[in-house]
Chains A and B, each alone.
Chain A
Amino acid sequence: MAKRLLEFRDRTAVVGVGYTPFTKDSGVSTLTLACRAIMAALDDAGLGPGDVEGLATHRVGDSAAPSLVGPALGMADPTWYLDQFGGGSVSHAVVAQAALAVAAGVAETVVCYRAINARSEFRMGGTGRRLPVSPEVQYQAPYGYFAPPQQYAMYANAHMQKYGTKAEHFGRLAVTQRANAVKNPRALMRTPITLDDYLASRWIAEPFRLLDCCLETDGACALVVTTAERARSLRRPPVLISGAAWGGGDSHLSGGRADPTTTAAAALAPRLYAQAGLGPADIDVAELYDCFTYSVIVQLEDYGFCAKGEGGPYVASGATALDGALPVNTHGGFLSEGYVHGINHIAEAVSQLRGDAGDRQVAGAEVALSTAQPGYILPATSALLLRKG
Chain B
Amino acid sequence: MPDRYGRPPRGVRPTPDRDSKDWWDRLAGHEFTVQRCDTCHTDRFPARAFCPACRTERWHWEAVSPEGTVESWIVNRRPFMPGSTEPYVVVLVRLAAVPGCLIHGGWDGDLEPEYGQAVQGVYADMGDDLALLNWRPAE
Which A residues contact B (CB, under 8 angstroms)? Answer: 127-128, 135-147, 150, 153-155, 157-158, 161-162, 202-208, 252-258, 260
Among A143, A158, A203, point to the contact of B90 (Cβ < 8 A).
A143
Among B88, B92, B134, point to the contact of A260 (Cβ < 8 A).
B92
Shortest CB-to-CB span from A378 to chain B, Å, is 15
Q: Please determine whether A254 and B45 come into contact, CB atoms closer than 8 angstroms.
A: yes
Number of interface residues of B (CB under 8 A): 48
Q: Please determine whether A260 and B71 come into contact, CB atoms closer than 8 angstroms.
A: yes
Among A136, A146, A256, point to the contact of B101 (Cβ < 8 A).
A256
Q: Please determine whether A140 and B104 come into contact, CB atoms closer than 8 angstroms.
A: yes
Q: Please determine whether A144 and B14 come into contact, CB atoms closer than 8 angstroms.
A: no
Q: Please determine whether B101 and A258 come into contact, CB atoms closer than 8 angstroms.
A: yes
Q: Please determine whether B82 and A205 come into contact, CB atoms closer than 8 angstroms.
A: no
Q: Please determine whether A143 and B8 come into contact, CB atoms closer than 8 angstroms.
A: yes
C-alpha gap A127/B13 in the complex (Å): 17
- Of the A-B pairs whose beta carbons lie under 8 Å apart in the complex, a sample of 15, sorted by A's number, is A127-B79, A135-B19, A135-B46, A141-B12, A142-B12, A142-B132, A143-B104, A144-B90, A144-B106, A145-B74, A150-B80, A157-B74, A162-B115, A205-B74, A254-B48
7 tightest A-B contacts by CB? A144-B8, A256-B100, A161-B115, A203-B77, A158-B72, A206-B75, A138-B14
Q: Please determine whether B94 and A258 come into contact, CB atoms closer than 8 angstroms.
A: yes
C-alpha gap A147/B106 in the complex (Å): 16
Q: Which of A142, A203, A254, A260 has the most CB of B within 10 A?
A: A142
Decide if the interface of chain A is mainly helix, strand, loop or mixed: mixed
Q: A128-B82, A138-B20 are in contact. Are A258 and B100 (CB under 8 A)?
A: yes
Q: How many inter-chain contacts with C-beta < 8 Å in the A-B complex?
A: 126
Q: Please determine whether A254 and B101 come into contact, CB atoms closer than 8 angstroms.
A: yes
Shortest CB-to-CB span from A76 to chain B, Å, is 41
Contacting residues, chain B, for A256 (C-beta < 8 A): 44, 52-53, 99-101
Q: Which of B53, B90, B101, B106 has the most CB of A within 10 A?
A: B90
Q: Please determine whether A144 and B88 come into contact, CB atoms closer than 8 angstroms.
A: yes
Q: Please determine whether B12 and A150 come into contact, CB atoms closer than 8 angstroms.
A: no
C-alpha gap A141/B78 in the complex (Å): 15
Q: Is B29 an interface residue (CB 8 A)?
A: no
Contacting residues, chain B, for A257 (C-beta < 8 A): 100
C-alpha gap A305/B116 in the complex (Å): 29
Q: Please determine whether B90 and A252 come into contact, CB atoms closer than 8 angstroms.
A: no
Q: Which of B10-59 contact A (CB under 8 A)?
A: 12-17, 19-20, 24, 44-46, 48, 52-53
